[in-house]
Amino acid sequence: MEEGKGMRCEDILRAGSGTFETPAYIFDLDTLYHRVASVKEQFGENVILCYAMKANPFLVGPLCKMIEKFEVCSPGEFRICERAALDMHKVVLSGVYKNEADMQSVVHFYESQPTYTIESMEQYRLLKRCATEEKIQIEALVRLSSKNQFGVDKKVLEQILEDAANDPHVRIKGLQFYSGTQKRNASQMIAEIDALNTYSMELEKRFAVRFEELEYGPGLYTSYFNNEDAQDDIILQEFAKAMREINFHGKIILEMGRLIAAACGLYITSIVDIKETEGIRYCIVDGGIHQVNYYGQTMAMRTPDIEQIPKRTDQEAKYTICGSLCTVSDLLAKQFPLSGAKPGDMLVFKKAGAYSVTEGIALFLSRDLPGVYYYSEEEGLKKVRSKQPTDIMNSVMGMEIEQ
């Protein structure tokens, strides 16, 4: 299948005829698998992929046999991995905040299976205590900061290496580095991984260690909007070519979320009202900005790829597409052409596979969370989460309110 051809919107929606409710997310697993295979092919055997599950936790299960590592940044994400029966050797347990009780539990039950990351001296001491209590050795990556709240600077990193050299319970097996997302300049990423490799070799000499892994988050660019210079593949190819030439004796792990997940996702919302006010046509839908989110979009100043279902041959008219929230900020698109738009028509927002399902202001106005579906040609449309009410999260339950 050609990449992108998984977005067979009408076929997908037809597969759910009679049972499909909007708003909803559909994750096209055929497109997901094709994307991962394509990325792997470009990087070759020199690189291991790590899926940043914060991009879309619903993809952990489908990806568990295709992806070698999963970046896990919270106790909730870790529980998702447990429910998916993920091999804990694949987990990179990251995060700027690690709770002591959670770390004690993970170290107790899973011991040295996950790779633990260290983002501060206090985190190092915490992991050291947990491993010492269990009388085991765990393996860790130290995150080098990119001048923000994440990771440690070189001074602290070297202090950790010095201490760990004499400690039998924490083995530092490599470095981790991430400096941002949606990068369009491949030369910046190449310079960063080169610098990380050079620094790792310097540390190996100074501290008599042997690093097995370098984990790097390139933040590769993903195009979302119409009239945008879509350089995704060119940037990816240029970076992949450079990665094949990196001279590192161990494993290079590339952490990716958006690049893997974005293309497989559809967000479906239905038109519920059409009106004209002061000469402007408005199309009101049952979804909104609390459920679909594109990096770089503000107040519908940029337009993502949207498809109207059913397709009609009527003359086009331009609409401002607004969601169901009671705020003027709930704008999904401006001056968007629709053909014979009617209530009940569905609008399909493409490339919604990364972050939309988790990053929106989901509790605002206590609207239900959308249903979630998987789709593949082999199995058709499969519901994996029903609509979920949020009013129970926004109100006092099980007790009388004092008057």
Partners of 331 in the beta sheet? 322
Residues 159 and 51 both lie in one domain: yes
- 187: in domain: yes
Structural domain count of the chain: 2
Partners of 220 in the beta sheet? 183
Give the separation between CA 92 and CA 279, rounded to whole angstroms. 54
Q: Which residue has the tokens 């399909």?
A: 348
Q: Which of 262, 280, 313 is the last residue of a domain?
A: 262
Q: Which of 232, 247, 262 is the last residue of a domain?
A: 262
In this prediction, residue 383 carries a pLDDT of 94
Please name the residue ranges forming H helices in 135-271: 154-164, 186-207, 232-243, 258-261
Over residues 342-376, the pLDDT tens digits come to: 999 999 999 999 999 998 889 999 999 999 999 99
In this prediction, residue 76 carries a pLDDT of 97
- 158: in domain: yes
Q: Are the C-beta atoms of residues 49 and 69 closer than 8 Å to each other?
A: yes
In this prediction, residue 3 carries a pLDDT of 44
Q: Which residue has the tokens 């995704």?
A: 232
* Strands 251-256 and 380-385, bridge-based pairing: unpaired
Residues 227 and 275 both lie in one domain: no
- 203: in domain: yes
List the structure tokens of 258.
């958006």
- 4: in domain: no
* Strands 371-376 and 380-385, bridge-based pairing: antiparallel
Residues 205 and 300 both lie in one domain: no
List of E strands, 219-370: 251-256, 265-277, 280-285, 306-309, 316-322, 331-339, 346-349
In this prediction, residue 400 carries a pLDDT of 58
- 6: in domain: no
In this prediction, residue 2 carries a pLDDT of 41
Interior angle at CA 72, CA 41 and CA 268, nearest 5: 75
What's the CATH number where 339 sits?
Answer: 2.40.37.10
Q: Are the C-beta atoms of residues 124 and 103 closer than 8 Å to each other?
A: no
For residue 287, give the amino acid letter: G
What's the CATH number where 145 sits?
Answer: 3.20.20.10
Q: Which residues of the chain have pLDDT under 50?
A: 1-7
Q: Which residue has the tokens 């990179």?
A: 92
List the structure tokens of 99.
């709770």
Residues 355 and 223 both lie in one domain: no
pTM: 0.93
**DSSP 8-state secondary structure symbol assigned to residue 121:** H
Residues 77 and 210 both lie in one domain: yes
Residues 145 and 254 both lie in one domain: yes
Q: State which residues form the domain around 240.
A: 30-262
Q: Max CA-CA distance within the chain?
A: 75
Residues 197 and 60 both lie in one domain: yes
Interior angle at CA 69, CA 63 and CA 75, nearest 5: 90
Residues 257 and 357 both lie in one domain: no
- The alpha carbon dihedral of 232, 234, 235, 238 has a sign of positive
Residues 218 and 364 both lie in one domain: no
Residues 258 and 276 both lie in one domain: no
In this prediction, residue 1 carries a pLDDT of 38
Residues 345 and 212 both lie in one domain: no
In this prediction, residue 5 carries a pLDDT of 45
- 74: in domain: yes
Q: Which of 212, 234, 262 is the last residue of a domain?
A: 262
Over residues 229-249, the pLDDT tens digits come to: 678 889 999 999 999 888 899
List the structure tokens of 60.
């952990």
**DSSP 8-state secondary structure symbol assigned to residue 103:** H
Give the separation between CA 122 and CA 118, rounded to whole angstroms. 9
Give the separation between CA 86 and CA 82, rounded to whole angstroms. 6
- 299: in domain: yes
- 41: in domain: yes
Residues 34 and 143 both lie in one domain: yes
